C-alpha cells in the first residue's frame, strides 16, 4: 500500500486512486525564461520518483506536466513585467525565442537526470483558447471583477479559498504579495491581463484577442485549464514545489472549483526547498547552480539524482559540493560493485547457489516498504546498501538491484556496462608495468612487485590476482 503525505489534509494517507490501478497526475513545470537550477529540479525529481513508485506498484500513470511560456509576472501582486518579456529585452530576443531556447535547455537537463517523460507536456501558449473558456465560466459564475489592468478573481466570494495554504483569504500581512490598490482583497489574482497601450517600449511579443480585449492570461489559469483538459475535472495527484503551496496552487484550486464544484485533485504533494548556505536557492537571490555548473566541476546529472535521495522530499536540503562529492563517490562505488559481480568467476558463487531466494526477496520487500512509505528514499538507500554488502550470490544481488533501479532511476545496468568498457581499456604504460610486476613475481622478487603495484595504484588502476589471472581495473 502506497502512503503519501497530503498537503491538503496535512496527514499521511493510504493512497487510493479514483479509478482502479489508474492514476491521473499533474506536475507544475518550469517557467522558461532562464535555465532551471538544481533546486527547481528537486521538485521534478520528486514527481519522477512518485511516478516510478506508482508504476512499480502496477498503476498506469497518466503523467501531465506544463511549460509556462507566458503570463508569469515578476511580482506575485500581478504587477511588473512578464518574466518572458523581461528576459527577451535583456537578451535582445523575442519572448518566443526565449521560451523556445529555455524549453529546449530544460528538456535536455530533464533527460540527463533520467526523469520520466510526461505522457503530455503542454505549453501555456498552445492552450489560450482553453484558458479563455475557463475564465468565461468563472465570470458566468460571478467570481470576477474588472480593473484598469485586467480581469481578477474575487477570492472573498469563494467560501474555502486558501484551504491548501497557511494564510486566510483576508490576511493583509501576506508577505509575498505587494500592495495593489486595484484589488479588492490582497489575495485576489489576475485571470487575464490587458496589454499596455502600444508604444515602442511597451509592445508585447505575446498577446491575444479575448472577450475582454487584447492581452494575455494570468499565470495560474493555465494549470487549471490544462490539467482539467488532459486529466478531467477531478484527478488523483497534483505535485509541485513548496513555494507553490501558498499562492499558485490555492489559485488553481479556486479557478477550477468555482466552476466545477468538485475537488481539483485528491492528493497534493509538495517538494521542499534546496538551500545554499542556509538560504533558499532561487534565481532572485542569485545563488543558484545549474547542471552545467556541476558538470564544470566534474559531476554528472546522475550524481545529483543520487544526492536528492539523501533527504526526504518534504525536508529542506542544504546543497554543498562536499555532499555532492560524497554522493558521486557512493554511486561510483555502487557501479564498481556491479562490475565485480559480473566478473566474479563461477567457482566463487558455486557454494552459495543453495541459498534460499527469500533472503534477497526480503531486501526487495523492505525496499518497497520504504519507498511506499511517503517516498522514504534515505531508508530505501540503506536497504539497498545492505543488499549490496550481503553475502548473497552476485547474480541474485544484481537482479534485485536492477529491480530497485526501476525506482532509483540511476541507470545502473547501462552505467556499469560503460564502466566495464572503460576499465577494459588499459593504457600501454600501465600494461607494461603489470607485465613487469608479473615478471618480478615469477622471480619471487615480491617486494619489488609490491612497489610496482603501488605505482600502478597511484596512476589510478588497481590489480586483482585471481585463479584466472591478473585483472586490472580503473579505480
In the prediction, which pLDDT does 198 show? 60
CATH of 295-423 given 3.40.1350.10, 1.20.1440.20, 1.20.120.1910, 1.10.645.10:
1.20.120.1910
User: In this model, does residue 174 exceed pLDDT 60?
Assistant: no
Least confident window among 165-174, 289-298, 340-349:
165-174
Spatial separation of the C-alpha atoms in residues 328 and 77, rounded to whole Å:
41
Rounded to 5°, the CA angle 38-42-48 comes to 130
pLDDT band at residue 346 under the 50/70/90 scheme = very low
Q: What does each C-alpha distance from 352 to 150, 259, 392, 394, 397 come to in angstroms?
A: 73, 64, 7, 9, 12
- What's the pTM value of the predicted model, to 2 decimals? 0.86
CB 216 within 8 A of CB 193: yes
CB 343 within 8 A of CB 301: no
In the prediction, which pLDDT does 423 show? 66
pLDDT band at residue 75 under the 50/70/90 scheme = confident
In the prediction, which pLDDT does 293 show? 96
In the prediction, which pLDDT does 345 show? 52
Spatial separation of the C-alpha atoms in residues 294 and 147, rounded to whole Å:
46
What does residue 208 show for φ and ψ, rounded to 5 degrees? Answer: -140, 155
Compute the average pLDDT of residues 81-88. Answer: 89
Task: Work out the percent of the chain whose per-residue pLDDT is above 90.
Answer: 70
Tell me the pLDDT tens digit for each residue of 246-268. 999 999 999 999 999 999 999 99
* Residue whose entry in the numeric block shows the C-alpha cell 479588492: 184
Spatial separation of the C-alpha atoms in residues 166 and 356, rounded to whole Å:
52
Q: What does each C-alpha distance from 411 to 28, 158, 405, 408 come to in angstroms?
A: 25, 47, 7, 8
Query: Regarding predicted confidence, which is higher, 424 or 398?
Result: 398
- Residue ranges per domain, the chain? 3-271, 295-423, 426-474
Q: Enumerate the β-bridge partners of residue 235.
A: 265
In the prediction, which pLDDT does 464 show? 84
Same fold, 3-271 and 295-423: no
Tell me the pLDDT tens digit for each residue of 152-163. 999 999 999 999
In the prediction, which pLDDT does 351 show? 46
User: In this model, does residue 243 exceed pLDDT 80?
Assistant: yes
Spatial separation of the C-alpha atoms in residues 71 and 217, rounded to whole Å:
6
Q: Does domain 3-271 have CATH number 3.40.50.620?
A: yes
Compute the average pLDDT of residues 113-140. Answer: 98
At a CB cut-off of 8 Å and minimum separation 6, what does 138 contact? 144, 153, 191, 255, 258, 259
Quick one: which H or E segment has residue 349?
Answer: helix 346-349
Spatial separation of the C-alpha atoms in residues 68 and 260, rounded to whole Å:
24
CB 281 within 8 A of CB 289: yes
Compute the average pLDDT of residues 339-363. Answer: 64
Rg from Cα positions in the chain: 27
What's the distance, Cα to Cα, between the start and end of the chain in Å?
41
User: In this model, does residue 461 exceed pLDDT 90?
Assistant: no
User: In this model, does residue 216 exceed pLDDT 60?
Assistant: yes
Amino acid at each position: 500500500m502506497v502512503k503519501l503525505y497530503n498537503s491538503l489534509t496535512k496527514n499521511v494517507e493510504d493512497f487510493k486512486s479514483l479509478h482502479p490501478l489508474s492514476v491521473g497526475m499533474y506536475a507544475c513545470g518550469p517557467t522558461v525564461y532562464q535555465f532551471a537550477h538544481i533546486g527547481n529540479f528537486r521538485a521534478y525529481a520528486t514527481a519522477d520518483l512518485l511516478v516510478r513508485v506508482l508504476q512499480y506498484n502496477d498503476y498506469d500513470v497518466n503523467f501531465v506536466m506544463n511549460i509556462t511560456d507566458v503570463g508569469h509576472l515578476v511580482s506575485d501582486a500581478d504587477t511588473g513585467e512578464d518574466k518572458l518579456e523581461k528576459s527577451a529585452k535583456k537578451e535582445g530576443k523575442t519572448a518566443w525565442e526565449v521560451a523556445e531556447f529555455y524549453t529546449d535547455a530544460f528538456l535536455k537537463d530533464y533527460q540527463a537526470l533520467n526523469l520520466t517523460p510526461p505522457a503530455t507536456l503542454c505549453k501555456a501558449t498552445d492552450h489560450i483558447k482553453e484558458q479563455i473558456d475557463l475564465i468565461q465560466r468563472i465570470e458566468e459564475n460571478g467570481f470576477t471583477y474588472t480593473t484598469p489592468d485586467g480581469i481578477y478573481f474575487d477570492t472573498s466570494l469563494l467560501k474555502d479559498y486558501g484551504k491548501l495554504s497557511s494564510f486566510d483569504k483576508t490576511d493583509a500581512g501576506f508577505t509575498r504579495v505587494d500592495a495593489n490598490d486595484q484589488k479588492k482583497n490582497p489575495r485576489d489574482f489576475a485571470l487575464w491581463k490587458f496589454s499596455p497601450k502600444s508604444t515602442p517600449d511597451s509592445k508585447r511579443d505575446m498577446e491575444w484577442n479575448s472577450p475582454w480585449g487584447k492581452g494575455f492570461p494570468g499565470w495560474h489559469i493555465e494549470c487549471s485549464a490544462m490539467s482539467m483538459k488532459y486529466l478531467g475535472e477531478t484527478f488523483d495527484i497534483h505535485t509541485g514545489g513548496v513555494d507553490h503551496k501558498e499562492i499558485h496552487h490555492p489559485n488553481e484550486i479556486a479557478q477550477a472549483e468555482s466552476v466545477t464544484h468538485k475537488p481539483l485533485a485528491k492528493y497534493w504533494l509538495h517538494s521542499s526547498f534546496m538551500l545554499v548556505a542556509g538560504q533558499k536557492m532561487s534565481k532572485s537571490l542569485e545563488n543558484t547552480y545549474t547542471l552545467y555548473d556541476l558538470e564544470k566541476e566534474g559531476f554528472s546529472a546522475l550524481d545529483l539524482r543520487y544526492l536528492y535521495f539523501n533527504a526526504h522530499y518534504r525536508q529542506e536540503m542544504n546543497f554543498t559540493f562536499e555532499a555532492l562529492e560524497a554522493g558521486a563517490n557512493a554511486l561510483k562505488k555502487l557501479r564498481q560493485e556491479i562490475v565485480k559481480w559480473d566478473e566474479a568467476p563461477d567457482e566463487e558463487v558455486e557454494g552459495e547457489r543453495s541459498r534460499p531466494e527469500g533472503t534477497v526477496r526480503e531486501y526487495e520487500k523492505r525496499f518497497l516498504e520504504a519507498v511506499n512509505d511517503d517516498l522514504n528514499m534515505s531508508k530505501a538507500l540503506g536497504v539497498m546498501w545492505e543488499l549490496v554488502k550481503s553475502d548473497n550470490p552476485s547474480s541474485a544481488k544484481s537482479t534485485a538491484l536492477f529491480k530497485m533501479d526501476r525506482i532509483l532511476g540511476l541507470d545502473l545496468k547501462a552505467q556499469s556496462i560503460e564502466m566495464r568498457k572503460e576499465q577494459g581499456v588499459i593504457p600501454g604504460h600501465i600494461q607494461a608495468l603489470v607485465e613487469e610486476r608479473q615478471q618480478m613475481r615469477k622471480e619471487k622478487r615480491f617486494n619489488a612487485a609490491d612497489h610496482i603495484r603501488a605505482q600502478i595504484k597511484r596512476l589510478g588502476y588497481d590489480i586483482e590476482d585471481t585463479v584466472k589471472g591478473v585483472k586490472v581495473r580503473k579505480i
